[in-house]
Amino acid sequence: MKIINFGSLNIDNVYNVQEFVKPGQTIFADSFQIAAGGKGLNQSIAAARAGAHVIHAGCIGPNGLFLTDLMQQAHVDISQVLTLDAPTGHTVIEVNASGQNRIIVHGGTNQMLTEDYLDTVLAQADAGDLVLLQNETNLIAAILYKSHEKGMKIAFNPSPMPQDPSSLPLHLVDYFMVNELEAAQLADMQADAPYEAILDRLAEKYPQASIIMTLGHNGVLFSQQKVRLSHPIFPVEAVDTTAAGDTFCGYFLAALCRNASINTALREASAASAIAVSRPNAAPSIPLYEEVEAFQRSAVL
Ligand SMILES: Nc1ncnc2c1ncn2[C@@H]1O[C@H](COP(=O)(O)OP(=O)(O)O)[C@@H](O)[C@H]1O
Ligand SMILES: [Mg+2]
């Protein structure tokens, strides 16, 4: 079983400043870094480092080739990635002296998928394969319908949360990968509602689906019909939580592709994301499967 990920690919432009620039003002940045980003890219890398066969589907512009190079180094299949004559999806991120950020996203080529392109990619799919998608590309509903028609299992990470989730055919989703805030929004409940109540509501609303609800340092909850499972975090010194959820998602789905049990999938994904949290940066912080195995052997829960 393989994963086809219709995922975003972003160039993150990160500017460190003392204070956020004010209207009409021009300031010098203290430093600047370019990083590979996009939930799609991170999740493909995580699933591939976990050992899954991952085909990444998405579009870049001519300035985005370093993104596909990085995915290829992680053994993601990039043969379906299209290069268009348009700017790659990118962000402008200001980080001020107190560590707060402000982010502008330009969807760029992430928003230029076409129905023909979906059909070309899905010609590679076999029934029972897993399709993965987030909400950073266009044609979400079409991806859901077309992959369902193919008999694929569907994993949806609705992030950022769609304006109107009820307009999407979410009854086709087999796995919802959500953090606590996304779960509350999807359930139409207050963010401070008890986790179990949110999970119950989601299980009632989407009885066909498994819900994987990550809770940051509070671990993860899982629900599938009447089954409820949970896993605590592996305690680490948190250095940078960027890509924690993406690492969890990729590792969890990779375990399912190997037919591992849900308990194993939750444990491996928790260990992998704990390692990612203990290291700086996004994609570079995602561990290899060997590292996750060694970490689990040494960890005391
Ligand atoms: N401080 C932490 N220490 C160890 N593991 C963590 C920590 N924060 C998050 N994780 C792990 O990463 C998973 C995903 O984190 P979460 O914050 O829920 O996702 P997102 O990045 O989507 O908000 C958690 O379920 C947990 O297993
Ligand atoms: Mg979080």
Q: List, for residues 51-94, the tens digit of each pLDDT value.
A: 999 999 999 999 999 999 999 999 999 999 999 999 999 999 99
Which two three-digit tokens encode residue 156? 């949806």
The H-or-E segment that residue 15 falls in is strand 10-16
Give 227 Cα–ligand 2 centroid separation in angstroms: 24
Strand partners, 6: 57, 133
Which of helix, strand or coil describes residue 30?
Answer: coil
Residue 30 to residues 15, 17, 56, 276, Cα–Cα distance (Å): 7, 5, 35, 26
Place of tokens 């002296």: 97
Going residue by residue through the chain, which has 301 residues, state the pLDDT in tens, using 9 for 90 and above.
Answer: 999 999 999 999 999 999 999 999 999 999 999 999 999 999 999 999 999 999 999 999 999 999 999 999 999 999 999 999 999 999 999 999 998 899 999 999 999 999 999 999 999 999 999 999 999 999 999 999 999 999 999 999 999 999 999 999 999 999 999 999 999 999 999 999 999 999 999 999 999 999 999 999 999 999 998 899 999 999 999 999 999 999 999 999 999 999 999 999 999 999 999 999 999 989 999 999 999 999 999 986 6
The first and second tokens of residue 171, run together, are 């009854």
- Give the Cβ contact number of residue 87 at 10 Å: 16
236 Cβ closer than 6 Å to some ligand 1 atom: yes
- Ligand 1 atom with the smallest distance to the CA of 219 is 25
End-to-end Cα separation, the chain, in angstroms: 31
- Boundaries of every domain in the chain: 3-8+39-86+109-298
The pTM is what?
A: 0.96
Q: Is the CB of 162 under 6 A from ligand 1?
A: no
Instruction: Please choose from 277, 279, 285, 286 the residue to mutate so as to test ligand 1's pocket, defined by most ligand atoms within 8 A of CB.
Output: 277
Q: Rounded distance, CA 100 to CA 54, Å? A: 34
DSSP 154: E
**Nearest C-alpha to atom 18 of ligand 1 is from which residue?**
216
Tokens 């987030």 belong to residue: 134
Domain 3-8+39-86+109-298 is classified in which CATH homologous superfamily? Ribokinase (3.40.1190.20)
Q: Which residue among 215, 233, 236, 285 is best mutated to probe the pocket of ligand 1, counting the most ligand atoms within 8 A of its Cβ?
A: 233
